[in-house]
Amino acid sequence: MKRSTFFQFAAPSIFLMTLLMVIPLIMAIWLGMNFITFRNITEPEFVGLQNYIDVLTDSRFWSAARFTTIYTAIVVPSRMVLGLAVALMLDQVSKAIRGVYLSFFLLPFIIVPIVGTLMFKQLFEASGLITWAYRVIFETRLPYNEGTVKTLIMLHGIWYVTPFALVTYFAGLQTLPSDLLEAASIDGANWWQKIRGIVLPHLRSLTILILLISIMDSYRIFDSIFVLTNNLNPVFKADTLMTYNFSTATQFQRLGKGNAMAVITVIGIMIVLIPNLIQSYREQIEER
């Protein structure tokens, strides 16, 4: 394909992405250097790097960053181990039943995150099923404090994204090299040896991809925590970067500071992402 034809075909997409992603990103960096509230939203007042300094010296920002990191460090590996375990078991079941199981497993992933969170929350309402079960089993009320609320948030995080890892791993298992597995069986390898020697190496590249996507998604988690704990996040010290960013912008009306925080978060994401980008770049250059 000629260069000019390429640009003709890709023009609408490139135009839209430039207009609504590249330009807004530059705007975001610039707006982060302004003092803006809802009152002067059309006439921002330039304050230089003040907002960026404000964010970096804000203890609540660092506490949110800490919780986001802990959340990611616990939720992402649990999700992947659970997903892999279920995928391995699903692989053992006959084809007809698989489809039925899969449609149930997919449910938490396909429904609207807000709705899924709301449904999850219903279990823990004063008249909820788990609240009741807890009271029956431990004969005391389910306490809501920093520890339990954070645990709940993480349980929900595991609940609703495990299907993604599960389905991806399951698809990866379908492409296992069967000749290698047969050879291993003939040599008398047991189940665990086959898993370690053949299955895990085969899933290595998939694992890296799931890991990257999961880290990025839990880094920018917003919707579900916003609904799960609503205005109570500060009480339970359960603010994530995104929810604190949102309340800085809406509740405290410091839109400029909010934008500066978003830009700093982007820099944080890029630190994780850039090695991957460089690698994809090399792959693409080689491929052509």
Partner 1 sequence: MEKTRNPIAKVGIHLFLIIFTIYSILPFYWTTMQSFKTLKDANSRTPKFLFTPTWENYQELWLKSVPENGYMIMFFILLAVVLLICMALFAEQFPWPNWVTVGAVLLGFASILWGIPEVVDTAEFYDYFVNTIIVTVGTVVVSITIGCLAGYSLARYSGYAAVVILIAALGFRALPRLTFILPYYQIGNALNLLDTRFLVILTLVAVNQPFTIWMLRSFFMDIPKELEESAMVDGANRLMAFRKVIIPIMWPGIISTALFSLLLAYNEFLLVRILTQTNWTLPVAISRYTGGEDPRHLTLAAAAAVSATIPIVIVILFFQKNLVKGLAAGAVKG
| Positions 19 through 48 that interact with partner 1 (CB under 8 A) | 19-25, 27-28, 31, 36, 41-42
Cα angle at 75 between 69 and 80, to 5 degrees? 130
**What minimum distance in Å lies between the beta carbon of 91 and partner 1?**
6
Q: Which of 242, 247, 254, 257 binds partner 1 (CB under 8 A)?
A: 242
Cα angle at 79 between 175 and 233, to 5 degrees? 150
**What minimum distance in Å lies between the beta carbon of 53 and partner 1?**
19
By C-beta, is 22 or 49 nearer to partner 1?
22
Asked if 26 and 259 touch (Cβ cutoff 8 Å), the reply is: no
At position 271, the amino acid (one-letter code) is I
The bridge status of strand 45-46 relative to strand 34-35 is antiparallel
Interatomic CA distance for residues 212 and 203, integer angstroms:
14
By C-beta, is 66 or 121 nearer to partner 1?
121
# residues near partner 1 by CB under 8 A: 109
**What minimum distance in Å lies between the beta carbon of 259 and partner 1?**
5
Q: Identify which range of 50-58, 66-74, 95-103, 145-153 contacts partner 1 by CB under 8 A.
A: 95-103
| Residue numbers 56-85 binding partner 1 by CB under 8 A | none
| Residue numbers 158-187 binding partner 1 by CB under 8 A | 159, 163-164, 167-168, 171-173, 176, 181, 185
**What minimum distance in Å lies between the beta carbon of 241 and partner 1?**
8
By C-beta, is 70 or 280 nearer to partner 1?
280
Per-position DSSP letters for 131-159, written without gaps between them: HHHHHHHHSS----SHHHHHHHHHHHHHH
Residues 110-139, one symbol each (x = binds partner 1 by CB under 8 A, - = not), give xxxxxxx-xxxxxx-xxxxx--x-------
Structural element, H or E, at residue 66: helix 59-91
Q: Is 89 in the site for partner 1 (CB under 8 A)?
A: yes
By C-beta, is 36 or 150 nearer to partner 1?
36
Tell me the C-alpha to C-alpha distance, in Å, between residue 5 and each of 1, 12, 82, 277. Answer: 7, 13, 47, 27
| Residue numbers 249-278 binding partner 1 by CB under 8 A | 249, 255, 258-259, 262-263, 265-266, 269-270, 273, 276-277
Interatomic CA distance for residues 199 and 172, integer angstroms:
9
Q: Is 52 in the site for partner 1 (CB under 8 A)?
A: no
Q: Identify which range of 46-54, 67-75, 91-99, 142-150 contacts partner 1 by CB under 8 A.
A: 91-99
Tokens of 254: 């410091």
CB atoms within 10 A of CB 15: 10
The residues, ordered by sequence, that sit 6+ positions from 65 with a Cβ below 8 Å of its Cβ are: 241, 268
By C-beta, is 236 or 246 nearer to partner 1?
246
Q: Which of 75, 210, 225, 238 binds partner 1 (CB under 8 A)?
A: 210
By C-beta, is 59 or 174 nearer to partner 1?
174
Where are any strands of DSSP class E within the chain? 34-35, 45-46
